[in-house]
Structure 1
Amino acid sequence: MSLSCPRRFMALGRQPPAMSDDSDLYIPDIVPASDVAYLESQSRYGNRVGWGERPALLVVDATEAFLDGRRTTPDCVADTARLLDAARSVDVPVFYAVPSGRSLPEGYPVPIKGSASSDRTPDDATTDRDREDWVAKLDRLPPAIEPRESEHVVEKPRASAFFDTHLANLLHYYGVDTLVVCGTNTGGCLRATVVDSHSSGFRTIVPPECVADAVTLTHEVALFDMDLRYADVTPLEDVLSKLETVASADST
């Protein structure tokens, strides 16, 4: 399987899923060989969740506040646009979750404390102007992946798109049983949303090409952990094919 970040996918003899023949576990190269050996000896990790019959797509925090600057997945926006096109073409419901700047308390340390190329100090990074500029980008999406007028946009007060929102009710209203989740940041709000999706009883699918983080380590470890416990980390091409298959089955 060819993906944009270095990794290896390993078959671990998982149980056959209901609607997927993908039996590979997402194991980034940073995982120690001893952990890989342990996982190969266990049958309880990495079993496929598989797809149900009524998928939906959720785009989490794919806004300029989080997409500006360094990204572990440079083509995240372009690949997310492909995913959106595929979902819309077969009438799969699309939902967006964006952070609400109004929910941030005064003095909240916005995540712009600098990068390797920045000379800012932590004390300088939370100035009023920095905060104002960053909050202005919280609900501003790149044009290629903007929501359509008919699509639901949920404002979330904290990391998970499910926490203190009506997202779960919306998904149940549409009869959704499978949630494809993409967006940012992989190790933060994206992962929190995936865990809550799993906890809410939805089969959860994550295409790694369509998620991004500013830090490679958190990106890779989060994908590894999600695939072990909460979701199926599935290559984008497989997700696109499955959307067509599910849509065809739904129309017969």
Structure 2
Amino acid sequence: MTDKLARWQGVIPDDDLAAYRKGSFGRRIGLGARPALLNIDTTHMFVDPSYDMCGREMPEFFAAVTRVTEVFRSLDLPIYYSRRDDRSHPAYRGIWNLKLGNATEFQYVADPRADQWPEAYGPRQQDRIVLKNKPSAFFATPLESFLRYDGVDSLVVIGVSTSGCVRAAVTDAFSHNFRVTVIEEAVGDRSPAAHTANLFDMDMKFADVEPIDAVLAELETRFGQRRAAE
């Protein structure tokens, strides 16, 4: 049993682990030569419980997102943010009009605060912001083009929700042949069950799901030394 599979023992049923082991899933991809941070949808709409789309307070998640952002800034590594685009017109919302019961309410379509980020980790002028109207930050956006221009070969992914927009972006990043690392403490979901199931499946198929301390230590070791030498 690989280390990745062993890590999930006691969380995922043994029969399920055996099926993934049979298919030889779960090898570690690792970070490449130039990682970027991709912060997915951590605006007030999804992290502030006063908004209906935020299921609960997540102080540990909030602290992890802030910590990861600070390390990327200190290492002068690129940071990308994704958030919803304009939802004021029914055509912009598309099939969300059919799936969401609040798709025409003020919070969802017109609240100017909803799509802003908390000050603790919000984007700076030099960061990149990608606007989207569907779950994946890659779908019908210039994100891949931006990343290729920036020489990025790896994405460290944080944000919400694990089972929705995070998973969609991770799958598309994998499809575009980026190395992907998901920081487990820095992604969140309104459903703990969906969160765990999707972390496991991404770890097996499309990404490395890693603890925050390990990822930040590797980044600081590799890229902190490089910056000090410049």
TM-score, normalised by the number of residues in structure 2: 0.85
Is the aligned partner of 1:132 residue 2:106?
yes
Aligned counterpart for 2:60 among listed residues 66, 75, 96: 75
Pair 1:104 & 2:85 matched: no
**Is 2:40 the counterpart of 1:66?**
no
What is the Cα deviation at residue 30 of structure 1?
A: 4.7
Find the aligned partners of 1:181 and 1:200 in 2 and give their Cα distance: 15
CA distance in structure 2 between the partners assigned to 1:72 and 1:30 by the alignment: 23
Secondary structure of the structure 1 residue equivalent to 2:185:
helix
Residue 66 of structure 2 aligns with an amino acid whose one-letter code is A
Given the alignment of the two structures, is residue 247 of structure 1 paired with residue 223 of structure 2, yes or no?
yes
Residue equivalent to 1:158? 134
Q: CA deviation at 1:107?
A: 7.5
Match of 2:187 in 1: 211
**Closer, same or farther: CA 195–248 of 1 in aligned 2, 3 Å:** same
Residue 142 (structure 1) aligns with: 118
Is residue 57 of structure 2 the alignment partner of residue 57 of structure 1? no
Instruction: Give the structure 2 partner of residue 179 of structure 1.
Output: 155
Asked if structure 1 preserves the Cα contact closer than 8 Å seen for 2:47 and 2:57, the reply is no
63-72 vs 193-202, greater mean Cα deviation: 63-72
- Note if contact 2:154-2:180 (Cα within 8 Å) is conserved in structure 1: yes
2:160 equivalent to 1:192: no
Question: Would you say the 8 A contact 1:58–1:182 is kept in 2?
Answer: yes
- Aligned counterparts of 1:167 and 1:242: Cα–Cα separation in 2: 25
Separation (CA, whole Å) in 2 of partners of 1:193 and 1:28 = 26
Q: Percent identity?
A: 37
Alpha-carbon separation, structure 2, partners of 1:133 and 1:56? 31
Unmatched 5+ stretches in structure 2: 50-54
* Aligned twin of 2:52: none
TM-score (norm 1): 0.78
Distance 1:48 1:28 in 2: 17
Q: Please tell me whether residue 24 in structure 1 is matched to residue 4 in structure 2.
A: yes
Indicate the SS of the match to 1:164. Answer: coil
Structure 2 residue aligned with 1:47: 27
Deviations 1:57-94 (A, max 9, x none): 00001112111333485411111100000011011100
Letter in 1 for 2:181: I
Q: Aligned in 2, Cα 1:95/1:147: closer, same or farther, shift over 3 Å?
A: same
C-alpha distance after superposition, 1:126-176 (max 9, x if no partner): 384xx2113325422122121111111110121000011011111111101
CA RMSD of aligned residues (A): 2.3
Q: Distance in 2 between matches of 1:105 and 1:230?
A: 28
The letter for the 2-side match of 1:78 is A
Shift of 1:105: 3.8
- Is residue 2:212 matched to residue 1:233? no
Matched, 1:35 2:11: no
Partner-residue secondary structure (3-state), 1:79: helix
Does the CA-based 8 Å contact 1:180-1:205 persist in structure 2? yes
Letter of the 1:54 counterpart? R
Gaps of 5+ in 1: 1-11, 14-22, 112-124
More helix by share: 2
- 1:68, 1:248 → 2: CA distance? 33
- Work out the number of aligned pairs and report it: 216
Give the C-alpha shift of residue 227 in structure 1. Answer: 0.4
